[in-house]
Structure 1
Amino acid sequence: MTDVIHPSHPLGVSRPDLAVADLPEPEEVFHVSRLGPVELFKYAVGPSLIALGISIGSGEWLLGPQAVGQYGFVGVGWVILVSAVLQTFYNVECSRYVMATGEVPVVGWGRVPPGFRIWVPLSVFIVIFAFIAGGWAASAGQGVYALVHGEIAPAGAEEPRLWAIALLVLVFAITAAARRISRVLELANWVMISAILVGLLLIDLFVVPFGIWWEAIRGFVTPAAPPAGITATQLGGLAGFTALASGLNWYVMGHYRDKGYGMGYRAGFLAGMRGPRKELLASGVTFPDDRPNAARWRRWYRLLLIDMWGVFFIGALLGMLLPTILMARAVELSGRRPTQADVPTFVATVMGAEYGRAMFVGALVLGVLILFSTQLGIFEAMVRVTTDAAHATSPRLRALVEGDPRRFYYPFMIGLLVVIAVVLHLALPVSLVQWSANMSNLGALIYPFLLMYLNSKLPRPARPRWWHYVVLVLNFLFFGFFFVNFIADFVGDPLVTFG
């Protein structure tokens, strides 16, 4: 298809107008003659897997099982389901902007009044501040220690932190070895998520009675008040890290640009050290409002819905269901409940005592995979968001790196690794994860409204329908409540207690 260049498209303030070109056909992007079911899952599915790799992690292996282990399914499961539904809608709306403009969200926020000098640095700060605590890394380190030594680490042990740092170095190595960073993350998550879900399903079928399965499913679909004794901070952490990271989910949706979805194909991608020197546009590209492009947009939007609802949403629910019922069985077998200190290895310890060392090792391996997939996605995403923001907004930086964002990406990743290595020593892993999850809820007070502004100004075929705005407001109300309560609890008394 020959590209037709059109006049530019103004969008928002303080950023250059979007260039205008035709949307590509999916077959052009994925280099296939026809996009059937096999080609769909071979080539088009991908960004949802990176998001799912982060999703099936701290919330699903730590906060969800801890809450269920302490308080049961009723009241907790309902929060999980509502959170997953709202977050998947939110993910679709964030990705809508990426597909329609080729700009990642952190760059798009700079188009919202008063402009990029406020929103871009603030957004980078919020993402790093939310995740730099490193609970996801510390928990993975605890799992590796138990796998190596055959026992959980003693309180305050240094070796689990060293393992956590070693896993951060492994993330650096994986991205450095890539030709296209997003693609290697997809492939790694295909392997890890498949192993995690199949492994958990087999263990659950073997050890979890039907009664617990039914209680969990009933808890997911039964509206109920939160259980007595649970704090709103715990519940907010669970809500924030169910599915992904509530109001901060946008920090992962930029992978749709690198995958080539919609106008992302025109904008470029972040290459790895082995990849070609690839130009990454500093400003986005959108499409003309005409009938051929509207038809292509509908095709891309259907692919997005399949990726998000068919892969991410279903995977996120399974990723929460399977570990939580295993935790419920572990609580039933042991007669005790997990604590913040032992929740990363609680299931493995109990199952090992009941079913032998093979079960202990198997549960630990799954736990390490779950937490490392989170570590891989979060660590890379912090670097990616900062790189995209700096590259798009600083002509001086673009000149310094000679238009090659890798020259910023990898040095920044090394610097961030050093900082996280220091922060890891400050608190228990689950305490750090709860902090990150509640900080993610802060994003729900801000970004749904920025997203409504941006998406309302897209070419008409790409604009949301009225009820999409309603769902974004529901995100604000649901997750925003938990953040406000978290701050009230932090400085004094919580707004709500459950008795």
Structure 2
Amino acid sequence: MAKEVTNSFPLGVSRPDLAVEDLPEPEEVFGVRKIGPKEVIKFAIGPSLIALGISIGSGEWLLGPQAVGQYGFVGVGWVILISALLQTFYNVECSRYVMATGETPVVGWGRVPPGFLLWVPLSVFVVIFAFIAGGWAASAGQGVYALVHGEVAPAGAEEPRIWAIALLVLVFLITAAARRISRTLELANWVMVGAILIALVLIDLFVVPFSQWWEGIRGFITPAAPPAGITATQLGALAGFTALASGLNWYVMGHYRDKGYGMGYRVGYISGLRGTRTKVLASGVTFPDDPANATRWRRWYRLLLIDMWGVFFVGAILGMLLPTILMAHAVKLSGEEPTQANVPTFVASVLEREYGTAMFYVALILGVLILFSTQLGIFEAMVRVTTDAAHATSPRLRALVEEDPRRFYYPFMLTLLVIIAIILHLALPISLVQWSANMSNLGALFYPFLLIYLNSKLPRPARPRWWHYAILVLNFLFFGFFFINFIADFVGDPLVTF
């Protein structure tokens, strides 16, 4: 039970001071007697799986394989590895703030000068703008079409878009059936991510020669210049959607609040339609700077590192390596290169010619699972970010929905579904995904610095060490470069060509 609040903790500007209570023990949050390896797997791991479900998606199944299929591993794999390392560090720092305050990042940005009137609506806009193009949904629709008809969809076909919209409706139904939305997403991704990685390992062991495995691994660990002919826009899309979404990764880290990590346990979570109505505090809660809470903080931080480095990072690397070596092998078998139009089904078509119809359908089912896990995470996260922002910053809205975020969450999800259904008809799926990935890099131009501001003001046990700040600046330099080049390429000539 929460203790009575006796003081407050000022943090930043334009938002109420944080309430102050003791950090809960992990055993209290997860309802167990002791946290051991079994309990970590069963209860503590979770938000990383939601992030990984998004991660093993557009970048790993579309952009990475397309780049490797056209240009090989050397120079491409190195970009993938750097991106994954930087993003995992960034995820940890975003989650640090959530654990220490119980506030999701989109709410925390409102504490950075000049205040929430700038940063909160801007952040919602950037997330919606980056992902509303719906390339992740359109690509999944192409996979379903091929699965139903046994052939690749003709150019410009309408039916794949209808399937994409049907999958959006399925996301709505999954969240509507949930008792606790984050937990339902975790369980769905336990199944999907587990099935994806196991199936990829088995298929690759069956069809990909060892030399191709080694070429892929060597490409990851060999520093090299980008291959001749690849554009910085292609590399930027690959960097942006390797692992998760570069500068916009924070939009998924709010699940640590709903999981109950640290002070998230004191703030509340968004329940599903079938769940018990729960109150989500409009402002966060932090902990006193004393030895007992410092010890609890270290325990929570270790769980975070296990979740992020042990699950997310390892899964993201495998999720990029396994599809790309399969694509590279398909290119060698066929003597062809994937195009923007056929990359979602290219591997399945090649495997059908070499190994029969059964392998065609296995690859298609795998592709649909990969892209649907991305669709589930991205679509829900756009709704979640907007809901958290509106609920925290608008007393009028809180009164209108009677302190029940679900009354905003579900109507907004339906509205967004209609808008994405319209946008799906505007471009090829890969073009939409490349746009989203490069827009993700936009966030790297400023969110690392917002994070530095916030985390430097946390209670002392929760503050980062100096080298954490240095790595956040590296995120700015690496992903920011690709975004600036993308804009230059979009309006005229790119700053860098290879």
> Same fold, TM exceeding 0.5?
yes
For 1:183, the equivalent position in structure 2 comes to 183
Distance 2:190 2:146 in 1: 25
Native 8 Å contact 1:261 1:300 kept in 2: yes
> Displacement, 1:2?
6.9
2:256 is the alignment partner of 1:256: yes
Aligned counterpart, 2:317: 317
Alpha-carbon distance in structure 2 between the residues aligned to 1:451 and 1:385: 17
| Aligned residue-pair number | 498
Deviations along 1:58-90, whole A, 9 cap, x unmatched?
A: 000000000000000000000000000000000
Contact 1:146–1:153 under 8 Å retained in 2: yes
| Number of the residue aligned with 1:163 | 163
Query: In the aligned structure 1, how far is the partner of 2:271 from the partner of 2:446?
Result: 31
Task: Please report how far the alpha carbon of residue 419 of structure 1 lies from its aligned counterpart in structure 2 after TM superposition.
Answer: 0.1
Aligned to 2:68: 68
AA of the residue aligned to 1:229: G
Q: Which amino acid aligns with 1:51?
A: A
Sequence identity of aligned pairs in percent? 85
1:272 aligns with 2:272: yes
Aligned to 2:227: 227
CA contact (8 A) 1:138 1:424 kept: yes
Task: Tell me if 1:174 matches 2:169.
Answer: no
CA distance in 1, matches of 2:365, 2:184: 21
Residue 241 of structure 1 corresponds to which residue in structure 2?
241
Q: Name the aligned partner's letter for residue 192 of structure 1.
A: M
3-state SS of 2:19 partner? strand
Deviation at residue 458 of structure 1 after TM alignment = 0.2
Secondary structure of 1:66's aligned partner: helix
Contact map agreement 2:2 2:266 (CA 8 A) in 1: no
Amino acid aligned to 1:357: T
| Post-superposition CA distance 1:118-173 (Å, at most 9, x none) | 00000000000000000000000000000000000000000000000000000000
Structure 1 contact 8–17 (Cα < 8 Å) conserved:
yes
Q: C-alpha separation between the residues in 2 aligned to 1:374 and 1:258? A: 20
What is the DSSP-based 3-state SS (H/G/I as helix, E as strand, rest coil) of the residue aligned with 2:7?
A: strand
| Alignment correspondent of 2:126 | 126
Aligned to 2:404: 404
State the AA in 2 paired with 1:170.
L
**Correspondence for 1:462:** 462
Q: CA deviation at 1:17?
A: 0.3
Assess if the C-alpha contact under 8 Å between 1:248 and 1:440 holds in 2.
yes
Residue 25 of structure 1 aligns with which residue?
A: 25
Counterpart in the other structure of 1:435: 435
Code of the residue aligned with 1:137 in structure 2: it is: A
- Written as runs of structure 1 = structure 2, the 5 A alignment for 1:61-210 is 61-210=61-210
| 1:263-302 correspondence runs (5 A) | 263-302=263-302
- Aligned to 1:19, what secondary structure does the other structure show? strand
Give the 5 Å matches for 1:276-425: 276-425=276-425
Using the TM superposition, give the Cα deviation of residue 5 of structure 1 relative to its aligned residue in structure 2, in angstroms.
Answer: 3.1
Counterparts of 1:313 and 1:267 in 2: how far apart (Å)? 28
**Using the alignment, how far apart are the partners of 1:158 and 1:175 within structure 2?**
27
Deviation at 1:10, TM superposition (A): 0.3
Given residue 447 of structure 1, which amino acid in structure 2 is its aligned partner? Answer: Y
The unaligned stretches of length 5 or more in structure 1 are none
Residue identity matched to 2:262: G
CA contact (8 A) 1:75 1:226 kept: yes
Task: Give the secondary-structure state (helix, strand or coil) at the position aligned to 2:8.
Answer: strand
* Deviation by residue 1:363-396 (Cα, 9 ceiling, x = unmatched): 0000000000000000000000000000000000
Distance 2:130 2:325 in 1: 28
- 1:275-296: CA deviation from partner (whole Å, max 9, x where unpaired): 1110000000000000000000
For 2:248 and 2:351, how far apart are their aligned partners in 1?
35
Query: Take 2:2 and 2:367, find their aligned partners in 1: how far apart are those partners?
Result: 49
**Which residue identity is paired with 1:316?**
A
Determine helix, strand or coil for the equivalent of 1:497: coil
TM-score (norm 1): 0.99
Counterpart contact for 1:6–1:288, Cα < 8 Å:
no
Q: Separation in 1 of the partners of 2:6 and 2:40?
A: 30
The amino acid across from 2:15 in the alignment is R
| Aligned counterparts of 1:393 and 1:80: Cα–Cα separation in 2 | 37
Contact 2:112 2:453 in 1 (8 A): yes
| 2: CA distance, partners of 1:277 / 1:196 | 34
Q: Tell me if structure 1 keeps the 8 A contact 2:2–2:21.
A: no
Matched letter for residue 409 of structure 2: Y
Question: 1:117, 1:336 → 2: CA distance?
Answer: 52
Contact (CA 8 Å) 1:5, 1:22: kept in 2 or not?
no
The separation in 2 between residues aligned to 1:149 and 1:470, in whole angstroms, is 51
Judge conservation of contact 2:69–2:327 (CA < 8 Å) in 1: yes
Instruction: Note if contact 1:15-1:116 (Cα within 8 Å) is conserved in structure 2.
Output: yes
Instruction: Tell me, in whole angstroms, the C-alpha distance in 1 between the residues paired with 2:275 and 2:282.
Output: 19
Shift of the alpha carbon at 1:4? 5.7
How far does the alpha carbon of each residue in 1:88-135 deviate from its partner, in whole angstroms, 9 at most, with x for none?
A: 000000000000000000000000000000000000000000000000
The Cα shift of 1:6 comes to 3.5
Question: Retained in 2: the 8 A contact 1:4–1:22?
Answer: no
AA aligned to 1:89 is F
One-letter amino acid matched to 1:72:
G
Q: Give the Cα separation in 1 of the matches to 2:35 and 2:465.
A: 27
Checking the alignment, whether the CA contact within 8 Å between 2:261 and 2:300 is kept in structure 1 is yes
- Structure-1 separation of matches of 2:335 and 2:376: 34
Distance in 2 (CA, whole Å) between partners of 1:133 and 1:183 is 27
Q: Secondary structure at the match of 1:91?
A: helix
Deviations 1:259-302 (A, max 9, x none): 00000000000000001110000000000000000000000000
2:213 match: 213
**Structure 1 residue 3: deviation in Å?**
2.9
* 1:354–1:138 distance in 2 versus 1, CA, 3 Å: same
